[in-house]
Structure 1
């Protein structure tokens, strides 16, 4: 769990407790998919999860902490996905192909997962989510920078490359928010434009 997440009151340690938390988060995902996060009420979450309201509050002090826990899970999956996709990259062409595929995967994921859309649409209004977005962008930028340096044979200034990669990753999050907020045909063109711009930047950085 990232440092910026509003922590649960009681972190689950036993299997039964972890399963209960998983059930709560699953219920919240279903509610978000149906009604959006703004309509979520703690009493309804407790009822549908089959737990008492007191038990719910033992784990999550408020609705925001549940949303943050969900965002943290998606962020962890994001970092793992990018790490896996870039792990074997050893050439400029492979780097560009891998990143291009990642962008398409993310866009389709955002379209298919209303929970992700809901959470990140509200990012700008929630400081914790903004901090989390920055944190995961930095983590992903580090992964991308390492892949670029590997392609370059470790020839290059790491801090400079990381800064450029941070811009790529952070603007990518903004691109996805914009792309899902407009009609799908327009969204696909926005994503395609982002890929073209980023492709030129990556090609330049990957070139020794």
Structure 2
């Protein structure tokens, strides 16, 4: 999934993709330090204010070494976004794979929404990345591809619960539920915590009513 999204975005000129993937353990460790440094800087000051020189200095690498893997800071943000997307998909797949009845779906879905909301609240990097999604074509494409992948996990669960349902309708419902979830999270973190909690609870009720229909 990650490779296909990155290739599509690079082809469209939407993002400056990483120059090369690290092949040796030493290089992988260096890239990890770079991304950890970038995450810390984004948490402190936001991605707009982050500078490549700051990332290199905090990671303890030369600026030339940083540019070997990341041509600019958009490539760093893209790499962080892809990583969080992959982690999220693994979590969703694990939570939904054994769902076999309506109550199981309710518990699994509600738990996933709570986890996702908690991550948005706890990780400034996630908030920074996704708050800028609508202004960046590559991140919009990544978000849509992520929603489609997550919808596939949900469709698989729904088919077990509603085997006679129209597959196309299930796919449309699942995709809409996930995409609305992204929007709900962005709205929830843009207001005070009390109102944000109410918005997330309302989203869960709406989504579960739709998923349980039929």
Same fold (TM over 0.5): yes
Given candidates 54, 74, 92, the residue that maps to 1:44 is: 54
Secondary structure in 1 matching 2:128: helix
Task: Give the aligned partner of residue 193 of structure 1.
Answer: 202
Task: Give the aligned partner of residue 59 of structure 1.
Answer: 69
- Asked if residue 82 in structure 1 is aligned to residue 83 in structure 2, the reply is no
TM-score (norm 2): 0.93
Secondary structure in 2 matching 1:37: coil
Separation (CA, whole Å) in 2 of partners of 1:47 and 1:202: 49
Deviations 1:54-112 (A, max 9, x none): 11111001100000000000000111111000011000111011101111111111101
Task: Give the aligned partner of residue 189 of structure 2.
Answer: 180
Separation (CA, whole Å) in 2 of partners of 1:18 and 1:150: 41
Query: How much is the aligned-residue C-alpha RMSD, in angstroms?
Result: 1.0
C-alpha contact 1:42 1:63 (8 A) present in aligned 2:
yes
Structure 1 residue 10, shift from structure 2 partner: 1.4
Task: Give the aligned partner of residue 29 of structure 1.
Answer: 39
Given candidates 62, 80, 96, the residue that maps to 1:70 is: 80
**Any residues of structure 2 matched to 1:5-16 within 5 Å, and which?**
5=6, 6=15, 7-16=17-26
TM-score (norm 1): 0.95
Relative contact order (alpha carbons < 8 A, sep ≥ 6): 1 or 2 greater?
A: 1
C-alpha contact 2:99 2:105 (8 A) present in aligned 1:
yes
**Any residues of structure 2 matched to 1:77-156 within 5 Å, and which?**
77-152=87-162, 154-156=163-165
C-alpha contact 1:92 1:151 (8 A) present in aligned 2:
yes
Task: Give the aligned partner of residue 163 of structure 1.
Answer: 172
Separation (CA, whole Å) in 2 of partners of 1:80 and 1:9: 26
Deviates more, 1:157-166 or 1:177-186: 157-166
Structure 1: stretches of 5+ with no match in the other structure: none
Separation (CA, whole Å) in 2 of partners of 1:181 and 1:16: 40
C-alpha contact 1:2 1:132 (8 A) present in aligned 2:
no
Deviations 1:142-180 (A, max 9, x none): 10000010122x322222211110000001001001100
Secondary structure in 1 matching 2:206: helix
Deviations 1:101-124 (A, max 9, x none): 111111111101111011000111
Structure 1 residue 2, shift from structure 2 partner: 4.0
Structure 2: stretches of 5+ with no match in the other structure: 7-14
